[in-house]
Structure 1
Amino acid sequence: MITVENLSKSFLGDTGPVVALEDVTLDVPTGTITGVVGPSGSGKSTLARLVALQDRPDSGVIRVDGFNTAALDPRRLRAARRRIGVVRHGDLLPQRTAAGNIALPLEQAGVDGPQRREKVGTLLDLIGLTDKAAFYPDALTPGQQARVAVARALVGDPGLLLADDPTKDLDPDAEAGVLTVLDRARAELGSTVLVVTDDAGVVRRIADDVALLEGGRVQESGHLLSLVQDPGSQVAQALLPAIDAPKSAQARHDRLAEVVLVGFAAVGALLPEATTRFGATIAVVGGGLTRIGETPVARFLLGVSGSHADQALAWIGERGGLVRQRATGPQGIVAA
């Protein structure tokens, strides 16, 4: 649907050119939710504007449905822009109801009344606000306003839904509602979704694929569940539970190992079975459990004791766990 190839963009600052993006390449697979995550100033919003075809890059190519947008004439460029629904926060028209705001793009496109009402009704159901159709924006909560903004972006059946910082300034319940709507757009409407955010938790909850943007460059990208199993992944370090255990606890075990387990079966069964099979004592010294989408993922620091501790850890690794042993000194003391 959308492919970004070697994209660069600079702006003129007070002291000269400022590089916002440098040689950025990104693929947004059709039918997925792709997250671009990075700190403030990393170039995320610049990338969002370029992908939305609201600005032009200094160099590089943006392809929509395989077409190089730089080579399109004005008419075809307008058509390409219509293939991209942009979630715009804070600009709901105060004089129009929730339904009226969603319907506005259809009115501008000349869609007749019955078709508009049917489409708006479908989207109000998608965002869970059918009972708020006649409410004006000032009578809606910030989270409800954000969901209306998502519905308005979806009303033209775009191939790509682009959400730049969709949960900004929302409380946890409102954030969950917006992310649920984005996920439903993908699942029920077949939308391809690109979410740009500085909140790694947003990516962890809904993304299939992720790109880490820092200093205007993509530092890492790929399928999220694959990256979290890569011991050198910056994405894994950002998304998985931190391992923080006192040395006094670490010193009580024959072996120490960092273990990443993915999936219900691995998280729920591997450690108890290894304990039984090898007669080892396995204790969780640090780390914790999270979810990547609906998939449970654990990162634990394990303390393993017993004559078959090494075999137990090897067995866990053979069954899909990512196991990295830590060096220990005499009597199980962690080596410096």
Structure 2
Amino acid sequence: MITVENLVKTFRGRGETLVALDGVSLEVPQGTVCGVVGQSGAGKSTLARCVALLEKPDSGAIRVDGTDLVSLGGAALRAARRRIGVVPQGDSLLRQRTAAGNVALPLESAGAARLQRRARVLELLDLVGLADKAGAYPDQLSGGQRQRVAIARALAGSPSVLLADEPTSALDPETTASVLGVLDRARAELGVTVLIVTHDMDVVRRICDDVAVLEKGRVVEHGKVLDLVARESRTASALLPTTDQITGLSSVDSERGYGRFDRIADVTLVGFAAVGALLPEASTRFGVQLAVLGGGLTRLADTPVARFRVGLSGDRADAALDFITEHGGVVQRATREEVAA
């Protein structure tokens, strides 16, 4: 588990002080993937460098598995750093070493025996899907393959925490998927807690359990992704389909002309059962006509999520919306004037 409490980090320049982190607090449960997102200059990379002990904060606490890293020094600090694997931004492999040699580097520094190193390197290259590239040099690998080798190297010391700074930057969609798949395997098979710094909300959509949104050095939103998309939030706005257009719908009644409906509402549904059955069941149970006017479907990791704008006609339209709410849907009733605006 990673716990950050009231972290402050400033940088002093010519006549001015830049506040990179301004009282940042967040908690990442063990074995989860948390995305740290925000615009350039929000403090994302500074936070990652502080957690990795590459930068010392001015004040605050950073706890990994209960140990406050900020207070450590000497041998204790070096030992704590070995519990944190870091995947730097960009291509960080040594060109004169093979893929296996790059992965072995942390093990050599730790004094691991040759046979132990060899077994661990082969295990990690297999984990990242590059067992057949052990003897290849970085210039013989694609960008995505080099990034996967960097992840294997970061895992070599069996860390409990893995920090990845923009791990999919400048990668094409297919390569991005392969890199994120490796990070997910590290979490699932090794139990590593993963902190991903990214500007790309699609990374959050594909892999993250939790998300922290930074703005001007402050956490403005933090929590489980599925909890945040179920209410009005920045995360919901970034990840869910907009309700003013139809996206990803098939065999669904889609009509305009809001005036003919008794009620109009935006409905968010999370999970297979809710997305597949809740709206038709509400329509049938309460004898109302229900039309989908906008919105669409998406998937957050393995969970389907939908946000629809719906129009309901019938005397029991309000009862149908109440039923959707009682069964886990998030309903925001809207007036025709609000919709038109």
| 1:264 equivalenced with 2:283 (yes/no) | no
Maintained 8 Å contact 2:35/2:204: yes
Task: Tell me which moved more, 261-270 or 135-144.
Answer: 135-144
3-state DSSP of counterpart to 1:54: coil
Which residue is 1:48 aligned to? 48
Which residue is 2:23 aligned to? 23
Which residue is 1:223 aligned to? 224
Unmatched 5+ residue regions in structure 1? none
Amino acid aligned to 2:308? F
Maintained 8 Å contact 1:8/1:59: yes
Query: For the residues of structure 2 that align with 1:110 and 1:184, how far apart are their CA atoms?
Result: 27
Which residue is 2:306 aligned to? 298
Amino acid aligned to 1:324? Q
Which residue is 1:243 aligned to? 243
3-state DSSP of counterpart to 2:118: helix
| 1:325 equivalenced with 2:333 (yes/no) | yes
TM-score by length of structure 2 reads 0.93
Query: For the residues of structure 2 that align with 1:139 and 1:214, how far apart are their CA atoms?
Result: 39
CA deviations over 1:178-227 (Å, ceiling 9, x no partner): 11111100100111111111111111211111111111000011121111
Query: For the residues of structure 1 that align with 2:102 and 2:73, how far apart are their CA atoms?
Result: 30
Displacement of 1:283:
1.7
Structural mapping, 1:174-189, within 5 Å: 174-189=175-190
| 1:154 equivalenced with 2:162 (yes/no) | no
Displacement of 1:65:
2.6
Amino acid aligned to 1:21? L
Aligned in 2, Cα 1:289/1:248: closer, same or farther, shift over 3 Å?
A: closer
When the two chains are superposed, the root-mean-square deviation of aligned CA atoms in Å is 1.8
Displacement of 1:306:
2.5
Which residue is 1:198 aligned to? 199
Amino acid aligned to 1:292? L
CA deviations over 1:163-188 (Å, ceiling 9, x no partner): 11111000000100111111100100
TM-score by length of structure 1 reads 0.94
Unmatched 5+ residue regions in structure 2? 247-254
Amino acid aligned to 2:272? F
3-state DSSP of counterpart to 1:166: coil
Amino acid aligned to 1:220? E
Which residue is 1:60 aligned to? 60
Maintained 8 Å contact 1:259/1:324: yes
- How many residue pairs were aligned? 332
Maintained 8 Å contact 2:258/2:311: yes
Structural mapping, 1:125-140, within 5 Å: 125-140=126-141
Displacement of 1:334:
5.0
Which residue is 1:120 aligned to? 121
Displacement of 1:280:
2.0
Q: Percent identity?
A: 62
